Amino acid sequence: MSTSLPLTDEAPLALRWPAVWWSGLLAAAAWALAAYVTHHFPDQSEIVEWTQTGNFAVAQALVAAAFLLLAFTARLIPPLFRRVQGLGPWFVALGLFLAAWQAVTAKFSLLPMPFFVPPQQLIEVYQDDWVRLGESVLASLWLLARGYALGAGIGFLVGLGLGWSPRFGYWAHPVMRLVGPLPATAWLPLAFFLFPSSASASTFLIALATGFPVAVLTWSGVASVNPDFYDVARTLGAKQRFLVLKVAVPAALPHVFVGLFMGLGASFAVLVVAEMLGVRAGLGWYLSWAQGWAAYGNMYAALLVMALMCSGLITLLFKLRDRLLSWQKGVVKW
């Protein structure tokens, strides 16, 4: 015979309420500390007056209240708890980071102005200059899409030819070994001289940075396909076209996606350099403009946007990889 305690007011608290999410409680304390530092201590800078300090303190206090609520209710909603449980230490660290950032910049001026700015200045940049910043993001995305698509397409075809045709490899391999390892930025003077516009020159440089890793990894993937696959397909009557499109390419796709990932990372670096030196719009141009006017808040705001954009694009690429290569999901981490 089993007995159980009724969930009344006299029952222990642990029986009436799920366990507390301690990381959420610590996160609430960290964000409350950040709000306290932002609101309680006066701004020390005599150069810039930050108009968003009060609003930023309120926002941090609201986040602290949300974490406090989650600390006592998250375990009641298992799907939500599974999503936030592993992020708890990061929530704590972010709140402490914001408190420290606020203290060493706006409150105690431990870092020199205007080279280091508080977080509320980034909010002011997004509020006041969102049009120009948004246009720069769109221009960078369009330039990156053109160059990356061109480089990935040509790199894939070159890698496929290298891995499939010894005759093509005889001519293309030496050129690849000579031109490929050179940094794409080394071609800047020649590219801006040969191409009719800075936009086309920048597209070429991004394509060059993307194409080499895609070609090498595609070549490696095609060359590493098990010959037995071809033998089985030929036995069933497969022609050359079928062997390439239905056997070689699908088997090489894991290598191709590694090349696409490496090419995307290389294209970001070239994108910024090309926009700084040639084009009239884009995040690289925005960074150069902000540095020229000593608008360091704008520079940091653009860097944050660029980091989120790059991370988001790489995440989308990995989502596509996991969808197309479901049998290899999770093999390559991001």
Quick: pLDDT tens for 180-210.
888 888 888 888 888 888 888 889 999 999 9
Query: Tell me, what's the pLDDT at 18?
Result: 63
Alpha-carbon distance of 44 to 104, in angstroms, equals: 10
pTM of the model: 0.83
Which ranges in the chain belong to alpha helices (H)? 13-16, 22-40, 53-73, 78-85, 88-102, 119-128, 130-164, 166-179, 188-194, 198-223, 227-235, 240-242, 249-277, 283-292, 296-324
CATH of 130-328, one of 3.40.50.720, 3.40.50.20, 1.20.120.420, 1.10.3720.10: 1.10.3720.10
Dihedral pair phi/psi, residue 21, rounded to 5° = -85, 100
Taking alpha carbons only, the member of 60, 53, 42, 59 closest to residue 96 is 60
Tokens of 298: 């704008």
Q: Where are the domain boundaries for CATH 1.10.3720.10 in the chain? A: 130-328
Give whole-number Cα distances, 282 to 21, 48, 305, in Å. Answer: 43, 27, 12
Give the residue ranges of the chain where pLDDT is below 50.
1-15
Taking alpha carbons only, the member of 246, 255, 165 closest to residue 216 is 255
Alpha-carbon distance of 170 to 168, in angstroms, equals: 5
Query: Tell me, what's the pLDDT at 2?
Result: 44
Give whole-number Cα distances, 90 to 61, 66, 94, 95, 207, in Å. Answer: 17, 15, 6, 9, 36
Query: Tell me, what's the pLDDT at 97?
Result: 97
Quick: pLDDT tens for 57-98.
999 999 999 999 999 998 888 888 888 989 999 999 999 999
Query: Tell me, what's the pLDDT at 11?
Result: 42
Query: Tell me, what's the pLDDT at 3?
Result: 46
Contact by Cβ (8 Å): 160, 220: no
CA torsion, points 87, 92, 96, 99, in degrees to nearest 10?
90
Contact by Cβ (8 Å): 277, 193: no
Query: Tell me, what's the pLDDT at 291?
Result: 87
**Amino acid symbol at 230:** Y
Tokens of 205: 């440089």
Query: Tell me, what's the pLDDT at 324?
Result: 85
Query: Tell me, what's the pLDDT at 45?
Result: 65
Query: Tell me, what's the pLDDT at 6?
Result: 46
Taking alpha carbons only, the member of 75, 73, 38, 70 closest to residue 57 is 38
